[in-house]
Chain A
């Protein structure tokens, strides 16, 4: 039966050609009409927005660029009463203090080590983030093992000088770890060999790491109390990001585990850490961590907030990842299981790649939040970028009305570059992964 009333019988004789769409909606004028002035309300909104831009943008440009002071040796350049200009930003101050913002009080003669650290960090990040980079597996080994060890040695000077007791403790720990792996293998009734190899491998890697840390490379020791500025901010953010993702994934899997002990532990950790402000976590890490440890073990004062932020963001990451796991259809698990994949294979090869892709926006959101939250480590006396700016602001040499604003403008620019970079990169990855894999 045909729907055309006057055509009870119809057989198509010719294929209808595909035509281009009508071109009424092209060109700049059409665009403006459609997007800015499509109705009285939108016209009004457009005019209001233009007015707001008019009153806010020119003064900002004036302050940041046109009236700004670009050079000068001290406050004179930025004070009207001493012949300078104080209507614009005092970039001379930032230029003068830039090395303090970057390195904090790090020993001046050793600052090349921080520069090498920045270069190594950039290399590792580039290697891993550039999706078409060669040998990304080596990149991962570099970034997650070699780079941290080398950075530790470079930044602190290495030569940790472990005691004999420490090495005995390590041997006992290693033996226990291998025994634990063997025990788990026996529990799961899988063969013992791979468990022993994995356990032994982990102990060996830790051992080599410790030996390297112990070795004397003739570098001068720089205590962490001298570190500061961008160095500390990037360090805290990188460690937080690198630890929180895998740890968050483990917590998320733990929360969905069928074993009540594992599930309860994960839930308690996540809910406790999420239920407490980061400042509280930092203060607790700073003051209470030493109380829990035996008297002769001291945790470095930079390491404490480092652990605090990493654990804090792990809890958030766990919930983001759990969202992705929740979104996976049951059929994917069944498909994987029916092929004989075991749990780790199923998770690593099938479930996590898809689940993590779903939650890339959430993951990056957490990373960006973490990056900015690193400024809170100032609360426990660590000199991150913001804190170094705070400290420079009250330098009498640079006492001028615009100093504070300029310093904060610099901080804003610094954070914006990194956060916007993360955001754009993640959009790129999403688009790349979305190509061709629509469900």
Chain B
């Protein structure tokens, strides 16, 4: 874990292409001996919606977790919204402020009410006044259609409601980029739709989104590009139409034949 990318001093602004939300340049990562990410090259434009799929263990979660530095990459460069990710804690915090993330298991804070979950980061990170933060939170809770649950605790909500709260919590920080790490995988079948609808709404508003999911209907509906990963590499990347109709790589064909019935 000790090896660190060499370029720590170079300023990020130079590299920032105005339209690039995320740039991953030849990114590699290892867990001990295990090479999880291999030579990842990815450019995400602003407002672009990207769906990432692949078998489990293919490195797709690890890849998007590198974007807000929940995982550290060991080789290559990652530039998020013009800020290069290095060991500099201040820059990492800056990036995290602008990148929202939604997890498979929601990761709501069980000791805080829904409203407190949503206002915590705006108050402490953005130094927003409590009243204003609550207004913002109620705005987004209304948008994900659960304003009436604001004073309950996460444990009292269904999985789908919790995941919508998690989305609202991220939106309260007005992020420029949203990362979704299998947001519907832990949900009961009846609740998948309410979460997907929320995400579609977000996509329609032009949010930059990177989404690890196996919801192919969602990919077809909103994605600008679909990425297929295996063995830590990007195997295929294409528009959804081409990706589903005309997969090029053998591995992609096999994968799609498994999940599309």
Contact = CB atoms under 8 A, between A and B. Distances in A.
Interface in A156-202: 188-190
A436 interface: yes
B111 A353 contact: yes
Given A349-B124, A437-B155, A438-B155, A342 B93 contact: yes
B89 A188 contact: yes
A341 interface: yes
Contact of A331 (B90, B107, B120): B107
B96 interface: yes
A183 to B, nearest CB: 16
Interface string B114-130: 00000011001100000
A355 to B, nearest CB: 10
A224 interface: no
Interface in B5-53: none
B110 interface: yes
Interface in B61-114: 68, 70, 88-90, 93, 96-97, 99-101, 103, 105-111
A340 B93 contact: yes
B156 interface: yes
B90 to A, nearest CB: 5
Contact of B121 (A340, A354, A433, A438): A340
Interface in A416-437: 433, 436-437
A436 B156 contact: yes
A337 interface: yes
Nearest to B88: A189
Contact of B96 (A188, A190, A338, A438): A338
Contacts of A111: none
Contact of A334 (B70, B99, B125): B70
A436 B152 CA distance: 8
Given A335-B103, A337-B70, A439 B96 contact: no
A331 B169 contact: no
Interface residues of A, number: 25
Interface in A380-439: 433, 436-439
Interface in A328-369: 331-332, 334-342, 345, 349-350, 353-354, 357
Contacts of A353: 111
Contacts, number: 77
B68 A335 contact: no
A437 B153 CA distance: 6
Contacts of B97: 340
B125 A331 contact: no
Given A436-B155, A436-B156, A439-B155, A340 B173 contact: yes
Contacts of A332: 107, 109
A256 B136 CA distance: 36
Interface string B175-192: 000000000000000000
B183 to A, nearest CB: 13
Given A436-B153, A437-B153, A437-B155, A341 B107 contact: no
B124 A189 contact: no
A350 B153 CA distance: 14
A335 B109 contact: yes
A353 B116 CA distance: 14
A189 B89 contact: yes
A338 B68 contact: yes
Contacts of B152: 436
B136 to A, nearest CB: 14
A436 B100 CA distance: 27
Contacts of B106: 331
Nearest to B105: A331
Given A188-B89, A339-B125, A340-B121, A437 B111 contact: yes
Nearest to A439: B110
Interface centre among A190, A335, A337 (most CB of B within 10 A): A335
Contacts of B96: 337-340
A337 B93 CA distance: 8
A360 to B, nearest CB: 13
A61 to B, nearest CB: 46
A320 to B, nearest CB: 19
Contacts of A439: 110, 155
Given A335-B107, A338-B96, A437-B110, 5 more contacts: A335-B103, A336-B109, A337-B68, A338-B99, A340-B121
Interface of B: 68, 70, 88-90, 93, 96-97, 99-101, 103, 105-111, 120-121, 124-125, 152-153, 155-156, 169-170, 173
30 contacts: A190-B90, A331-B106, A331-B107, A332-B109, A334-B103, A334-B107, A335-B108, A336-B109, A338-B68, A338-B99, A338-B100, A338-B101, A338-B103, A339-B120, A339-B125, A339-B169, A340-B97, A340-B121, A340-B125, A340-B173, A341-B120, A341-B124, A341-B125, A354-B109, A357-B111, A433-B111, A436-B152, A437-B155, A438-B156, A439-B155
A-B complex: 10 closest residue pairs judged by Cβ atoms: A335-B107, A339-B121, A338-B101, A331-B107, A340-B96, A340-B97, A438-B155, A340-B125, A436-B153, A439-B110
